[in-house]
Amino acid sequence: MIADRCYPTFYKMISIILHLNEFIMEEYRKRLLYKANYRGTKEADILFGGFAREYLHTLSKEELNSFEKILDESDDLLLKLILTGDTIPYHLDRQFLKKIIDFANGQ
């Protein structure tokens, strides 16, 4: 039957797609790790690089996207938010930034 011949090909294609997705996510994590470690100020490098080394492998795709948006902000703004507790801008993920703040405070 034709269906018997198509199923192995279908499952092989699904396997390739899943491996490709894993590869893409791993490359995304590597790019974020680099971005977190080379911010521009030593303080931000230590803080965000340390957070990335500790938690990057456990983050979901949505959390990775939130982390990238946070890393797109200036060091001055981020350090001010983390160190002084200023109001977090609406376009940043507040819960995720709270994780970074807790990490910075050693919790």
Tell me the mean pLDDT per 10 residues along the chain, length 107: 60 75 88 95 94 95 94 93 86 92 86
For residues 91 and 69, is the Cβ–Cβ distance under 8 A?
yes
Q: What is the pLDDT of residues 68-89, one digit of tens each?
A: 999 999 999 998 988 888 888 8
CB 97 within 8 A of CB 88: yes
Q: What does the pLDDT read at residue 67?
A: 96
pLDDT of res. 44: 93
Q: Which residue in this structure is represented by tokens 């899943």?
A: 18
Domain segments of the chain as ranges: 2-104
pTM for the model stands at 0.80
Long-range contacts from 30-33, C-beta under 8 angstroms, 24+ separation: 32/56, 32/64, 32/67, 32/68, 32/71
Cα–Cα separations (whole angstroms), residue 88 to 43, 79, 84, 85, 96: 19, 12, 11, 8, 11
Q: Which CATH class is domain 2-104?
A: mainly alpha
Looking at residue 7, its pLDDT comes to 61
Give me 64's structure tokens.
Answer: 């990775």
